[in-house]
Structure formats: structure tokens, C-alpha cells
Amino acid sequence: MKKSLPTNYLIQKDPLSDLLSKFNFSPIFFFYALHNQKSLLKNDILTHFKISFLITGSIKVLCNSISYELGPKSILLVPPSLLHTIECISPEPVTFYTIYFDLPLQQRAEFIELFKLQQVQCISTFLSDFTLKFIEDKYNDFLKKEQLTYQSIKILIDNCMLKLLKVIQSDIVSTHSEYRHQYSEEKTVLKCIGYLDDNPYKNVTVEDLCEHCALSQSYLYRCFTSYLNSSPKQFITTYRLNKIEVDLLQSSKSISEIANQYGYSSVYAFSNSFKSFYHMSPRDFRKQLNNKKKKFAL
């Protein structure tokens, strides 16, 4: 007669793992940087998420008038559409690895709330020697175009998010389900994102979202600023440009075809809108992205 294993040997999904398993992380760029002197490294606003691993040296991160100082083995997580400045402040070289990644738009709001990304997340002395070695190995595999590197980088992101979640939200397991039901703002944002997903080529306005959700503009504004740190208008622009960025990078469509596809009245109107966000023309941006793709893309 066969003996069944005791129930304490069964592997069951814990609440944190259940939360994280909902997120489908997509790595986009992976690079290594070295800076030899005190300088301004970045003053940027992103269209994707960014996670940086500081190896040596010290940096100062400024975001929403709050300053953070990070040293070796620290980690920095930045959401889209959040203006931040990074400054090298140590006399010794600053070295770090950075991964740009994204999530499906319908998952962004929940991820941002779960990881408290209304502000950047800076965690000092976060990285173990084992994790640092793993990051270095994956970057070398990436440069060599080794098989399964993409999946390995996804595993790296998953592992870092698990550790981050334990650090920044130790009480999230008991409160997350209640929190989602308590606040209707998140549901409103997700409903708007669903509308944008269903109408990717429509020139959606804030009024369209208000009508779709049967809400006032003031309440819609409060929902978006609370959960995405962005106004509805800013988010619509970022959403469309995020889609356009993918088309510029991955498709062979002409600038005129892309402008027409996304409902712009003319190539001129499209170029003006694009330049106001990226400070360069769509044609120059495509050229820059293709250069990055050759160097960094998976």
C-alpha cells in the first residue's frame, strides 16, 4: 500500500507569490554604465519602468523635492512618467547595471500601488554578493546573445521584485484585498486603461474617459494622480506615445502611416506632438531607437 506524503511537504502558493504572479514583466533594455567623476547622470522622465543596481560609488537621487543618497549594493526602482534626477556624488567611479522593463497597461496601476511608486523606491545595501554575481553573469550572457538570456533576465526581475516587496510592504498580504475593495479610484483607473486598450488608434480625450466612466473631470483627475502620479491627459499622451514608440521600433511603417493610424490630422501635427514629449522628431527618435536596439535590445 502506497503511503501519501504529509501535507506539510506540499508546495503551496503563498500570498506574496500569488500577488507577484499576476505581473508579466517584459525586459526591454539592459546596459552597464561607468562614470568617473562627479556629474549629473540623468534628469529624465520615462515611458517604461527602470530598475538600477548600484555596484560602486555613491549617487544622489532627487524626486518630488525628496533627496536620497545611495551607495554600493543599493537598488533604485523608477516608474514611468516620474521626473527624477540622478547625480554622481562620490570621487570614486560610479558603476551600475540598469534594466528597462514594462508591464501590460492594465497591470501598471496595481503594480505602482503595490510597490508604492508614487515616489521612486531606493533601498540601500539591498544586493547580496550572490545577486551581484548573477546580474553580472546575465549581462555577459546578454552581450554574447546566449540562449535563454531573456528568460533569465525575467527571473532576475521577478526575484528582485519579491525581495523589494518584502522590504517596502511587509503588511501588504493582510491588507491588499481589503484595500482594493475599499477604494474605487483604482477600479476607475483600470476601467480607463481598458478603454484605451480597446481603442488604441482613437484620439481619446479626457472627456471620452469621463463619459465612459460617468465621472466628473475633477474626480477622474484625483484617481489618476493618486494611483499613477499622472493627470489623465498626461497618461493618455504617454499611453499613445508608448504604442507609437513600439511601432517606430518594431514596424516598417512610414511616419505618415503611423500618424494616420493614431488619428493625427497631419504628419506636421504628429511631429509637433512627438517633439513636445521627446524633444526630437519621430524620424530621429526611430533612428536612435534602432541604434539602441542593435546595441542593447534582447
56 near 92, Cβ under 8 Å?
yes
Name the residue among 31, 44, 46, 19 with its Cα closest to residue 234: 46
**Tens of each residue's pLDDT in the chain, 298 residues:** 555 656 666 777 777 778 888 899 999 999 998 887 666 565 556 778 999 999 999 888 888 777 888 889 889 999 987 778 888 888 888 999 999 999 988 888 889 888 888 888 888 877 888 889 999 999 999 999 999 999 999 999 998 898 888 877 654 433 444 444 335 777 888 888 888 888 888 888 898 998 888 888 888 888 888 777 788 888 888 888 888 887 887 788 899 999 898 888 899 988 988 888 888 888 988 887 777 655 544 4
Residue type, 39: S
Q: How far apart are CA 129 and CA 137, in angstroms?
A: 12
Residue 184 DSSP label: S
Q: State pTM to two decimals.
A: 0.59
